[in-house]
Structure 1
Amino acid sequence: MLAAVSAKPQTVKAFIIHLGRATQRAAQVERLVDTLPVPAEVIDAVDGLMLSDADRDRVYRRRLHKPAYPFTLSNSEIACFLSHRRAWAAIVEQGLDAGFVIEDDVELTADFPAAFAAALNCLTPGAFVRFPFRADRETGVEVLSQGATRVIRPRTTGLGMVAQLVSRGAAIRLLQATEIFDRPVDTTVQMEWLLNLSPLAVLPGGVAEISSTLGGTSMKRQSSFSEKLAREILRPLYRAKVAFRSRYES
């Protein structure tokens, strides 16, 4: 069981990733600014519609790491990754102990105050704590328990990047390891052996993903039947390889 971190003051700030043209989400961003327990700053998300081929080539390289990611990234996926990198860079540049990075289609639930407090109690210099919006997807070793809230070290880091508490040390490692990337940001975070990072997850996460009520996600992509079929076949194979490496190489 992880001992609670000393209660010395921590400089923590929230960073809300928001795409400017997604005006239907502006009210939700304002709600987050008003309700988050720490000062908040809006990070201008990178717009996938504005990415050129040269922009892609500067940051994206297929099959860079093993296990190889079997799909080509869309511009939206690349833009999402770059947006998270902007938030990580802000944590480092502002000299914070940590940043709470949250996407603009997230709603805080009644469980959030307890989840945030538990995450702060795990805030070590290299900590990365995820706030999953699906509580039943991850299992692992419990490192902290506070009432009904648990923090675990997942056997395999879950998918999704809706909300995370990112220490400055973790932000530095992430930035160094992802100047060029080959897969989406959440699947990159799963590669503990590459990042020298051991993500934690707080359960319940105290967040809900509400993109369907805000005009849908900007990550949608049109796929042919053959592409959909290939994904159905290749996705579980890839996830099995990640789970194997997470178990034996992390």
Structure 2
Amino acid sequence: MKIFVVNLERAAERRVAILRHLAELGLEAEILPAVEGARVDRASLGPDAEPGLSNGEVGCYLSHVRFWQTVVERRLPHAIILEDDVICSPTLMRVADEIAALDLPWDAVRLSALQPIRGIPLLTLSGGERLILPNKHPSGTQAYMVSLAGARRLLDAIAVPKGPIDDTLDRYWRFGLCVPVLSPSVVVEDASLASSIAGRFGSDGGNSIPRRVARHFARVAEAERRKIAVFLMARRLRAHLHKAD
């Protein structure tokens, strides 16, 4: 299975370190040049793009879009994307190959998470890892895999950056996408490396009491919608698995 590492051209030390780490695991990867958000013409993103995103967030988002496009252009049945600040488990490829062989209509599977993984279990792999349909935000895009059909659906549904890429994938259910998360993770963030993304969306302003109250009620309403949507999706997936058996 093809592995890509998204890496800024100027981040040579990270590039060398991640390729060395993967080689120690017996893995090869192709560097996927990351998009420099500061060089992006915001007008080219179209009127639906979120103007409040930082340059780092835009670059990160478009780098992942480039990954999906590459998978489609090369017609890769499955592929893995890694960010360049991760540590991978030796079980990574065994897990990825098992997931790829599943008769389950997933679009992407997140192989890492920055927050505790909570949701509805779908199945258990041979090593005891579980695929969970999250109903809480796992956050992070340090590592995930896509199918060819999934890459196409991701491009159709979320190619325009309307928020940070990890927040958008957290809200997969809004777009009719199937994006389980693996638990426990087989890829973790290297805490010794600082993030290359600065100025998170919504970090400036918007802290008046009325706005905080409005955001609170909006989050509560979204959480209820998410629970229902994820429950129904999990029921369909379990029925699919039962029928396949």
Q: TM-score, normalised by structure 2?
A: 0.77
Give the deviation of 1:51 after TM superposition: 2.2
Give the letter aligned to residue 178 of structure 1: I
What is the aligned-residue RMSD (CA, Å)? 3.3
Give the letter aligned to residue 213 of structure 1: S
Aligned equivalents of 1:242, 1:47: Cα separation in 2: 32
**Is the CA contact (8 Å cut-off) linking 1:137 and 1:158 kept in structure 2?**
yes
Over 3 Å counting, the alpha-carbon distance change for 1:127 and 1:143 in structure 2 is: farther
Give the deviation of 1:172 after TM superposition: 0.2
Question: Which residue is equivalent to 2:2?
Answer: 13
Q: Percent identity?
A: 27
Q: Aligned to 2:57, what secondary structure does the other structure show?
A: helix
**Is the CA contact (8 Å cut-off) linking 1:124 and 1:167 kept in structure 2?**
no
Question: Which residue is equivalent to 1:213?
Answer: 192
Residue 106 (1) aligns with residue 86 (2): yes
Question: Which residue is equivalent to 1:92?
Answer: 72
**Is the CA contact (8 Å cut-off) linking 1:97 and 1:125 kept in structure 2?**
no
Q: Superposed, which structure 2 residues align to 1:95-174 within 5 Å?
A: 95-110=75-90, 112=92, 115-122=95-102, 124=104, 126-134=106-114, 136-174=116-154
Over 3 Å counting, the alpha-carbon distance change for 1:124 and 1:31 in structure 2 is: farther
Question: Which residue is equivalent to 1:58?
Answer: 46
Over 3 Å counting, the alpha-carbon distance change for 1:36 and 1:236 in structure 2 is: farther
Q: Aligned to 1:146, what secondary structure does the other structure show?
A: coil
Residue 40 (1) aligns with residue 29 (2): yes
**Is the CA contact (8 Å cut-off) linking 1:125 and 1:167 kept in structure 2?**
no
**Is the CA contact (8 Å cut-off) linking 1:161 and 1:186 kept in structure 2?**
yes
Aligned equivalents of 1:34, 1:131: Cα separation in 2: 19
Q: Aligned to 1:83, what secondary structure does the other structure show?
A: helix
If each structure's helix is expressed as a fraction of its own residues, which one has the higher value?
A: 2
**Is the CA contact (8 Å cut-off) linking 1:149 and 1:204 kept in structure 2?**
yes
**Is the CA contact (8 Å cut-off) linking 2:54 and 2:200 kept in structure 1?**
no
**Is the CA contact (8 Å cut-off) linking 1:114 and 1:149 kept in structure 2?**
no
Over 3 Å counting, the alpha-carbon distance change for 1:61 and 1:115 in structure 2 is: same
**Is the CA contact (8 Å cut-off) linking 1:16 and 1:41 kept in structure 2?**
yes
Higher mean C-alpha displacement, 187-196 vs 220-229: 220-229
Give the letter aligned to residue 109 of structure 2: V
Q: TM-score, normalised by structure 1?
A: 0.76
Q: Which runs of 5+ in 1 are unaligned?
A: 1-11, 63-70
Over 3 Å counting, the alpha-carbon distance change for 1:136 and 1:90 in structure 2 is: same
Give the deviation of 1:209 after TM superposition: 0.5
Number of aligned residue pairs: give it. Answer: 228
Aligned equivalents of 2:109, 2:192: Cα separation in 1: 26
Q: Deviations over 1:34-73 (max 9, x none)?
A: 2566652111000122223434x437534xxxxxxxx921
**Is the CA contact (8 Å cut-off) linking 2:107 and 2:147 kept in structure 1?**
yes
Question: Which residue is equivalent to 1:5?
Answer: none
Give the deviation of 1:92 after TM superposition: 0.8
